[in-house]
Amino acid sequence: MVPVPDNPTDIRILRHRIEKIDMLPTISGVVRRLTKVIGNPKTSLHEISSFISSDPALTSRILKMVNSAVFGFPGRISSVTHALTLLGLDAVRSLLMGVTVLELMQTVMVGLREHSVGCAVAARSIAEIKGLKNLEEVSVAGLLHDIGKVIFLLEFPKDYRTVMEEAEQKEILVMEAEKARFSETHAAAGQWLAEKLFFPGKLTDMIAFHHKPGLARSAPLETAIVHLADILVRALGFGYAGDAFVPAVSPVAFELLDLKERDIREVLKSIENVRASGEDLFW
């Protein structure tokens, strides 16, 4: 066994805890219930369906989400079985994590949930423009892309506050301050969790590389989509992701997407629509 270092803020400890998952005290309570279902790639459609249906609060959260602008089936999905048929097993598996994490988000950073929902809507809008078939995949990735921040905030609240203050003082991105303090970013922490929970490879790519879309191997286009969605949501000032300013877009990703100005206008409008409706944010 590899010796585990004592310094609690050491990133190796966090990685070890994520990989054990039971050692993440706050997240584990939530995830423990889910792990059995979503952490097992062999779970059947029927098992997932009865798992969700056995919990009324979870059922209502899932149905509200799939009927919201994030998934674009306004009011058309009335049962969990129907949602599973339309969205597919993989999407619902990660969506279970999505709705649960969204709830945690607002307790750790005000605005992170709005940021994530905005990003999901924007990503979906871009994917639609690009003619992608599986829109649910990028929607879920939008919801979950900052899951690493939730882990950092829950595990190292004091250190993360220092990270945020440092970022503000030095006028650098929180991500860069994370790297300086923890030697890894929230994107890496998100990747470990995604791998631990056997998320689909494409989703893991989108979470792991949303700040460095050039490194995505199994989903370069989808990762570029989430990368740009993240930036557009921040550009509009919708929600809060911890930064005072917008990160620069990766030119390679931007060129890969090859969007016209009118496309970008459309995406911005889709984000504004969520802001205007407000209903999807506080359920």
Q: For binding to other proteins (CB under 8 A), which residues are involved?
A: 106, 108-110, 153, 157-158, 160-161, 171, 231-232, 234-237, 244-249, 251, 254, 261, 264-265, 268-269, 272, 281-282
76 or 265, CB closer to other proteins?
265
- Tokens 């066994």 sit at which residue? 1
Type of residue numbered 144: L
Nearer to other proteins, 47 or 272 (CB): 272
Residue 112 exposed, middle or buried by CB count within 10 Å (0-12, 13-18, 19+): buried
Cβ distance to other proteins smaller for residue 221 or 268: 268
Cα-to-chain-centroid distance, residue 158: 23
**Minimum CB distance to other proteins, residue 24 (Å):** 15
Residue whose structure tokens are 């030095």: 170
CB of 110 to other proteins, least distance (A): 6
Closest to other proteins by CB, 96 vs 232, is 232
Angle at the Cα of 94 from the Cα atoms of 93 and 96, rounded to 5 degrees: 70
Shortest reach from residue 84's CB to other proteins, in Å: 30
- Cβ atoms within 10 A of the Cβ of 46, count? 10
What is the C-alpha separation between 232 and 264, in angstroms, rounded? 9
**Spatial contact of 116 and 229, defined as CB atoms under 8 Å apart:** no
* Smallest separation (angstroms) from other proteins to the CB of 275: 9
- What is the spatial distance between Cα 63 and Cα 110, in angstroms, rounded to a whole number? 24
| Least CB distance to other proteins at residue 171 (A) | 6
Supply the minimum distance, in Å, between the C-beta of residue 273 and other proteins: 10
- Which one, 141 or 153, has the nearer CB to other proteins? 153
CB of 91 to other proteins, least distance (A): 28
Least separation in angstroms between residue 282's CB and other proteins is 5
- Output 6 or 261, the one with its CB closest to other proteins: 261
Under a CB-based contact definition with an 8 Å cutoff, are residues 271 and 118 in contact? yes
CB closer to other proteins out of 135 and 253: 253
Q: Measured from the CB atom, is 175 or 264 closer to other proteins?
A: 264
**Is the four-CA dihedral 139, 32, 195, 234 of positive or negative sign?**
positive
